[in-house]
Amino acid sequence: MQAIILAGGMGTRLRSVISEIPKPMAPVCGVPFLKYIFKYLKNNKINKIVLSVGYKWQDIRDYFGYAFEDVELIYSVEDQPLGTGGAIKKAINYIETDNLFIINGDTYYDVPLEMLLQVYDKSTKLVMSLKHMREFDRYGCVKIDSGFVKEFHEKAYYESGYINGGVYLSSKELFNCYNGNDVFSFEKFIEENYKKINIKGVCVDKYFIDIGIPEDYKKAQIYFAGISL
C-alpha cells in the first residue's frame, strides 16, 4: 500500500515556538513530528510514501533520505505553492497503485487504515476519517448519513460534531472530474464535489492531535513522551 503525506507547510503559526523549518519537521520529544507519522504508516503496512514538499524541503530529505526503515520515500517537490489539492494532484503521479492513502503532515490521527479499506468500494472515490469532538471552533463540521458524507459546514463554534480527521483513502482517479487551476484546495474540492465523488465517512475513536498551533504542539510533547520509536 502507498501513501501521500502533505508535508509542505511552513509552520507560520508555530514560529513563536520553533525555528524556520517545515512544519512536519517540528521537534516533538527530540525527533521530527514526521517520524511519528512514518512509524504509524509503517505499522499500517504502507511500503511507499510520497512526500509532497515545498518550503525548505531539503531539510526533510537531508534528515530522512530516501527510506524510513524499509519504507521507500519519494519527494514530490512544488516549485511554487500549489495548495493541498494541487500538491496531491502532482504527487499522485508517483503512485503506482489504483488507490492510495492521503495524510496531513501536521496531524497525527491513529486511524487503523484497515477500517478505511473495509468500506472502500466502487461506489466511492474517497473515504475520509471523521473524529468526534466537543466544544470546538477551530474546524468545520461534517454530517454523514448511512455512511456517506451529506454536508460540510464552515468553521464555527459547535457543541458536538464530527470533523475531518485528515486521513483519507482515495481512488487514483479522484481528480478526473477536476478541470480547474493547478493551484487549489483539496478541502474545497471535496466540499464542492462530494455528490459526484460519493464520499464515505468512517468515524474513528482514536487519538488525534494537530500541531498547527502552539497550544496543541505543547500537548503533543506530553502525549508522544510515552511513544516508543
- So what's the pLDDT on residue 195? 86
- So what's the pLDDT on residue 13? 67
- So what's the pLDDT on residue 36? 96
Query: The C-alpha cell of 79 is what?
Result: 516549485
Query: The C-alpha cell of 88 is what?
Result: 496531491
- So what's the pLDDT on residue 176? 84
- So what's the pLDDT on residue 18? 73
pTM of the model: 0.94
- So what's the pLDDT on residue 11? 59
- Classify domain 2-224 at the CATH superfamily level: Spore Coat Polysaccharide Biosynthesis Protein SpsA; Chain A (3.90.550.10)
Give the Å distances, CA to CA, from 209 to 18, 24, 47, 53, 219: 17, 13, 24, 21, 8
pLDDT values of the chain reduced to their tens digit, one per residue, 229 residues: 999 999 987 757 676 667 778 889 999 999 999 999 999 999 999 999 999 999 999 999 999 999 999 999 999 999 899 999 999 999 999 999 999 999 999 999 999 999 999 999 988 999 999 999 999 988 999 999 999 999 999 988 999 999 999 999 999 999 887 888 889 999 999 999 988 889 999 999 999 999 988 888 899 999 999 777 7
Domain boundaries, the chain: 2-224
